[in-house]
Chain A
Amino acid sequence: MLPKIIGSETEYGLMVQNDPKFDSIATALLLINSYKADQALQLLWDYDQEEPLVDARGFELDEEYDVPTQQENMAINKILPNGARYYVDHAHPEFCTPECSNVLDLIRYEKAGERIVHLSLRGANQLLPPGQSIIVYKNNSDQKGNSYGYHENYLIDRRLPFQTIVDQMTPFLVSRQVMCGAGKVGAENGTNPVDYQISQRADFFETEIGLDTMVKRPIINTRDEPHADRDRYRRLHVIVGDANMSEYTTYLKVGTTMMVLQMVEEGFVVEDVALRNPVWAFKDISHDPTCKALVALNNGKKLTAVDIQRCFHAVAQRYVETHPDCHPTYPALVAEWGAVLDRLASDPMQLYREIDWVMKLHLVQNYIERRHSGWDDPRIAMMDLQYHDVRPEKGLYYLLERSGAARRMLTDAESIRAMEEPPEDTRAYFRGQCLKKFKNQIFGVNWDSISLNLGDGPIQRIFMDEPTRGTKKHVQRLLDQSATAAELVAKMTS
């Protein structure tokens, strides 16, 4: 049984108030470079080992892949001492968490990312002309036909056949949105009009399986770029999810997905739950906030998303009952998952403290009622956006949190700490501690390597293709005993 390492990438949405010549790339660059600008290290993201065009179905796309110049590279990429990557991806600031061994850490680092983005914003605003200010959203839609991603990554056993992943994860991912959608006012991209829907991303998914992430988005993304020992591991790159503000929602979203992948790896699969048309099902489920929409299975049955989730939940329950030594987070996850499914089946609005799409809908409905407003009121579209504002004094999610109206999974102290400290139980520890300790001797970084400039001689690259090694337990003594990067390398090669 291989350990499950996870991580998420959040593309943030960006705008500048009162700037008629707003340039998203320039602003994203300014934002990234405004985080602790005085302490920023000049190092490169190592694109050498990136292979984004390799497809899990067994081929490689013959396309050009742009790699930035060294100078661009240093401006675009920041690698942070907590092991995270903070960079400009196309026109977006993007925050990638360090590798985590469990869902609670994942939530911590995502929340640390929000804080980092907020601090960057405050720093960058000081450099803008008076009257202009940057606004950043942790969401997935601009209501103008554009969507940007929240991507999850799960390390899985390469021996698990890719077709099994497709068969199990398609119905799971299509239906899980009832537990973790971020909610959205209106519909787009040619789908049927609706006042409100569950998922920000559903309207933008057009195929079942594919390599692309920007057009004709697929439910199962076949990118095969493990950033790890490719003989042992696959990295499942999940692009269907919404970015969530609620900690509890992230807990359900990532926790259940991680658990389902683990149980499937070990042969605990759900039988006969294949959908007749996953793309339609994805949209139909999203467009019904009462969670009663029925979708067709290949076997002729029609089930709701909750019913489909219950199939996975039942298997997960069997899995934890027969594996007393399973991941310690799993038993509680199974219990929470089951309770949430019960609530969704009886009345989803009961989850108005727990699930983002319900929290947002609850706010909007109450606003409409008290202000004699309606779904066409621009203030409602504004609320849809402002729910995701990363400024604590403006973001509607943070408003709920401050009022005690949001169920928490963390303390603020934990997410603040995660801004500086890497996880202790993955290779992110080695990366983060090297960055802190050897600062200007770091030449370049990637997920699975660090390159050191020792002064004399060539750049030394340390390969880290095992995500479960490089932990505090593995490397603390080595780090403590090495005052310089040269000593570190000497000790590692002796």
Chain B
Amino acid sequence: MHMRLRGTGQAWAGIVTCAESVQQQTRRTTETPTQTTATPARNLTAKGDKLKEDMDALIEEIDEVLEENAEEFVKNYVQRGGE
């Protein structure tokens, strides 16, 4: 199984949280036509770059806090007796 993250340029279209989506749906019914123009292309790339930077930073942080000797650590974790 191989799953690819969508390219960051396209990611903007999908990255809307549920509440925002619900709010957007309600807003759309009251917006005038002039307000619903598409976001300019350069804004999409800027947003995409920012998301990529944020993720880069997150991955760096994960490397800092991730337990060392991951293989041994995971091997040693055993938890019996659970419901």
B7 CB to nearest A CB, Å: 11
Q: What's the A-B contact tally at a CB cutoff of 8 Å? A: 140
Interface residues on B, range: 35 or more
Residues in A neighbouring B82, C-beta threshold 8 A: 11, 90-92, 140, 146-149, 214
**A195:B1 contact, CB within 8 angstroms:** yes
Interface string of B1-20 (1 = CB under 8 A from A): 11111100000001111110
Residues in A neighbouring B4, C-beta threshold 8 A: 365
Q: Is the interface of A mostly helix, strand, loop or mixed?
A: mixed
Q: Does B71 contact A (CB under 8 A)?
A: yes
Interface string of B67-82 (1 = CB under 8 A from A): 1001101101111111
Residues in B neighbouring A289, C-beta threshold 8 A: 1, 3
**A194:B1 contact, CB within 8 angstroms:** yes
**B79:A142 contact, CB within 8 angstroms:** yes
**B65:A15 contact, CB within 8 angstroms:** no
Of A14, A149, A349, A378, which contacts B5 at CB under 8 A?
Answer: A349
User: Given A349-B5, A349-B14, A378-B71: A399 and B77 within 8 A (CB)?
Assistant: no
Most buried by A among B19, B55, B56, B77: B77
Question: Nearest residue in B to A361 (C-beta to C-beta)?
Answer: B3
Residues in B neighbouring A209, C-beta threshold 8 A: none
At the interface with chain B, which of A96-104, A263-271, A367-375?
Answer: A367-375
B23 CB to nearest A CB, Å: 10
Of B22, B67, B76, B81, which contacts A90 at CB under 8 A?
Answer: B81
**A342:B21 contact, CB within 8 angstroms:** yes
A382, B81: Cα distance in complex, Å: 22
A419 CB to nearest B CB, Å: 25
A405, B80: Cα distance in complex, Å: 33
Q: Does A383 contact B (CB under 8 A)?
A: yes
**B17:A378 contact, CB within 8 angstroms:** no
B57 CB to nearest A CB, Å: 8
Interface string of A311-337 (1 = CB under 8 A from B): 000000000000000000000000110
Question: Nearest residue in B to A196 (C-beta to C-beta)?
Answer: B1
Q: Does B38 contact A (CB under 8 A)?
A: no
Of B5, B18, B83, which contacts A365 at CB under 8 A?
Answer: B5
B5 CB to nearest A CB, Å: 5
A148, B82: Cα distance in complex, Å: 4
**A336:B67 contact, CB within 8 angstroms:** no
**A399:B18 contact, CB within 8 angstroms:** no
Residues in B neighbouring A140, C-beta threshold 8 A: 82
Of A148, A339, A378, A407, which contacts B21 at CB under 8 A?
Answer: A339
A133, B54: Cα distance in complex, Å: 31
**B83:A383 contact, CB within 8 angstroms:** no
B60 CB to nearest A CB, Å: 9
A296 CB to nearest B CB, Å: 22
Q: Does B41 contact A (CB under 8 A)?
A: no
B26 CB to nearest A CB, Å: 9
Q: Does A394 contact B (CB under 8 A)?
A: yes
A91 CB to nearest B CB, Å: 4
Of A15, A352, A386, which contacts B79 at CB under 8 A?
Answer: A15
**B81:A365 contact, CB within 8 angstroms:** no
**A367:B17 contact, CB within 8 angstroms:** no
User: Given A342-B21, A362-B5: A385 and B65 within 8 A (CB)?
Assistant: no
Most buried by B among A239, A335, A407: A335
**A151:B66 contact, CB within 8 angstroms:** no
Residues in A neighbouring B80, C-beta threshold 8 A: 24, 91, 146
Residues in B neighbouring A349, C-beta threshold 8 A: 5-6, 14
Q: Does B31 contact A (CB under 8 A)?
A: no
Question: Nearest residue in B to A371 (C-beta to C-beta)?
Answer: B59
Query: Which B40-55 residues have a C-beta within 8 angstroms of A?
Result: 54-55
Q: Does A290 contact B (CB under 8 A)?
A: yes
User: Given A370-B56, A399-B61, A399-B62: A343 and B79 within 8 A (CB)?
Assistant: no
Q: Does A119 contact B (CB under 8 A)?
A: no
Interface of B toward A, CB cutoff 8 Å:
1-6, 14-19, 21-22, 54-59, 61-63, 65-67, 70-71, 73-74, 76-83
Q: A11-B82, A90-B81, A347-B6 are in contact. List 5 more A-B contacts (CB 8 A).
A: A14-B79, A24-B80, A369-B5, A399-B61, A403-B57
A-B contact pairs, 21 of them (CB 8 A): A142-B78, A143-B74, A146-B78, A146-B79, A195-B1, A195-B2, A214-B83, A239-B83, A289-B1, A336-B18, A339-B18, A339-B19, A349-B5, A351-B18, A353-B17, A365-B4, A366-B55, A366-B58, A383-B62, A383-B66, A403-B57
